[in-house]
């Protein structure tokens, strides 16, 4: 096969009589076969990703009734609105804070689980993964009940200590805290399982060498564990930043962006304007703002993966 593929392409100079044989040759090429085999997936991606992406680009250039081309008018309008900048700020706070705590809690829990004897470890690993495997829409509904201002378990429990009632979703600061808390609860197990896998791949002898070298518990984490996990930490953090930044379900169910838009992030605000507010072009423009921000993160991820690939 390989030598066939290496033959120079003679389609351009071929006589009509030889056309059929060059078609056969083309079909025999590995690259042609590979292309044909991946074609269904390429079509699927084109239909479900590329077409909507370009369609939303097109939508973003129309007026509210979607009948007139306004160019960058929608974007100009957004820049002038305070709510837009509030959403930008909130999206950044939401994503960065949530990812930071997901990573921190994941790291700490991974350490605990790693130190559980192998026998009981599977049980704990399974249980700790539960928040991540429950569909977030369902678990967020449960959280919504826990946060209920009058009858919730949280406020009921706190009342014994003379605290509260706390307006979990009613006050801007508490509402932001609540959506971040639920996102951390939902996402930390993913970090835990990634960090656990990474911890298991650190050779035990490095810790023994460090112990003999005189490193205490903290120094072993700082000088051995963290450097050894650097790659996995970078990749999971960036990956999670993208997913968290584009989060929709938790905010939508818990606060629907309220109170007074103070928990809206890009996806929920785009939904509010585009679908609920019937201004689809403006909603499309809002959602398109995620692209440059996420693209930067994606470039970082791919660069890191490439670097790792080259090192190996």
Partner 1 sequence: MADVALRKVVKRYDDVEAVRGIDLDIADHEFIVLVGPSGCGKSTTLRMIAGLEDISDGDIMIGGDVVNDVPPKDRDIAMVFQNYALYPHMTVAENMSFGLRLKHYPKAEIKARVTEAARLLDITDLIDRKPKQLSGGQRQRVAMGRAIVRNPKVFLFDEPLSNLDAKLRVQMRIEIKKVHQKVRTTTVYVTHDQVEAMTLADRVVVMNKGRIEQIGTPNELYHKPATRFVAGFIGSPAMNFLPCRLEDVGGTLQIRLTDRIAFALPPARAARYNTLPRTEKLLLGIRPEHLTESHAHLGPGVESFDTVLDVTEPMGMETLVYFGLDGTPVCGRVDPNAGAKDGAPMRLAMDLNNMHLLNEATGAVL
Out of 6, 17, 37, 212, which residue is the one contacting partner 1 (CB under 8 A)?
212
Nearest one of 168, 157, 132 to 240, comparing CA atoms: 132
Question: CA 186, 49, 190 angle in degrees (round to 5)?
Answer: 20
Q: Is 117 in the site for partner 1 (CB under 8 A)?
A: no
Tokens of 216: 């205490």
CB of 44 vs partner 1, minimal distance in Å: 41
**How is 12-53 classified by DSSP, letter by letter?**
TT--GGGHHHHHHHHHHSHHHHHHHHHHHHHHHHIIIIIHHH
CB of 194 vs partner 1, minimal distance in Å: 19
Q: Is 118 in the site for partner 1 (CB under 8 A)?
A: no
Number of residues that bind partner 1 (CB under 8 A): 19
Buried b (16+ CB within 10 A) or exposed e, 279-300: bbbbbbbbbbbbeebbeebeeb
Instruction: Please tell me the number of Cα atoms within 13 Å of 229 on its side-chain side.
Output: 25
CB 227 within 8 A of CB 215: no
CB of 225 vs partner 1, minimal distance in Å: 11
Nearest one of 7, 6, 5 to 30, comparing CA atoms: 5
Q: Which is nearer to partner 1, 96 or 210 (CB)?
A: 210
3-class DSSP state for residue 69? Answer: strand
Contact segment (CB under 8 A) with partner 1 among 6-14, 188-196, 199-207, 251-259 equals 199-207
Residues in the chain: 312
Q: Is 172 in the site for partner 1 (CB under 8 A)?
A: no
Q: Is 234 in the site for partner 1 (CB under 8 A)?
A: no
Q: Is 211 in the site for partner 1 (CB under 8 A)?
A: yes
Q: Is 228 in the site for partner 1 (CB under 8 A)?
A: yes
Q: Which is nearer to partner 1, 160 or 218 (CB)?
A: 218
Q: Is 305 in the site for partner 1 (CB under 8 A)?
A: no
Out of 205, 218, 309, 310, which residue is the one contacting partner 1 (CB under 8 A)?
205
CB of 211 vs partner 1, minimal distance in Å: 5
CB 100 within 8 A of CB 240: no
- Cα dihedral 191, 196, 201, 206 sign: positive
Q: Is 1 in the site for partner 1 (CB under 8 A)?
A: no
Out of 33, 130, 209, 302, which residue is the one contacting partner 1 (CB under 8 A)?
209
Torsion of CA 91, 92, 98, 103, to 10 degrees: 140
Q: Is 156 in the site for partner 1 (CB under 8 A)?
A: no
Contact segment (CB under 8 A) with partner 1 among 8-16, 77-85, 206-214, 301-309 equals 206-214
Q: Which is nearer to partner 1, 213 or 276 (CB)?
A: 213
CA distances from 142 to 133, 138, 158, 173 (A): 15, 7, 18, 21
Out of 71, 120, 126, 203, which residue is the one contacting partner 1 (CB under 8 A)?
203
Q: Which is nearer to partner 1, 108 or 206 (CB)?
A: 206
Residues that bind partner 1 (CB under 8 A): 203, 205-206, 208-216, 219, 223-224, 227-228, 230, 311
């Amino acid at each position: 096969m390989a030598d066939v593929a290496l033959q120079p392409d003679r389609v351009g100079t071929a006589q009509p009589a030889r056309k059929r044989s060059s078609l056969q040759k083309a079909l025999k090429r590995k690259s042609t076969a590979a292309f044909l085999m991946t074609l269904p997936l390429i079509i699927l991606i084109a239909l479900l990703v590329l077409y909507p992406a370009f369609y939303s680009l097109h939508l973003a250039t129309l007026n509210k009734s979607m009948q007139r081309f306004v160019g960058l008018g929608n974007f100009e309008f957004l820049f002038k609105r305070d709510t837009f900048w509030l959403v930008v700020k909130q999206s950044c706070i939401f994503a960065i804070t949530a990812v930071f705590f997901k990573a921190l809690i994941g790291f700490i829990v991974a350490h605990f689980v790693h130190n559980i004897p192998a026998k009981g470890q599977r049980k704990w690993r399974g249980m700790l993964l539960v928040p991540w495997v429950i569909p977030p829409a369902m678990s967020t509904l449960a959280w919504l009940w826990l946060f209920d201002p009058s009858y919730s378990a949280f406020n009921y429990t706190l009342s014994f200590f003379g605290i509260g009632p706390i307006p979990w979703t009613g006050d801007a600061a508490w509402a932001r805290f609540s959506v971040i808390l639920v996102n951390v609860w939902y996402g930390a197990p993913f970090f835990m399982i990634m960090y656990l896998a990474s911890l298991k791949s650190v050779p035990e002898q490095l810790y023994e060498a460090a112990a003999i070298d005189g490193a205490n518990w903290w120094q072993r984490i700082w000088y051995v564990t963290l450097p050894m996990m650097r790659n996995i930490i970078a990749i999971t953090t960036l990956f999670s930043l993208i997913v968290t930044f584009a989060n929709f379900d938790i905010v939508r169910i818990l606060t629907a962006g309220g109170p007074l838009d103070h928990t809206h992030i890009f996806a929920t605000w785009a939904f509010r304007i585009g679908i609920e507010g019937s201004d689809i072009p403006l909603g499309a423009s809002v959602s398109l703002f995620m692209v440059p921000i996420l693209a930067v993160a994606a470039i970082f991820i791919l660069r890191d993966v490439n670097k790792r690939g080259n090192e190996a």
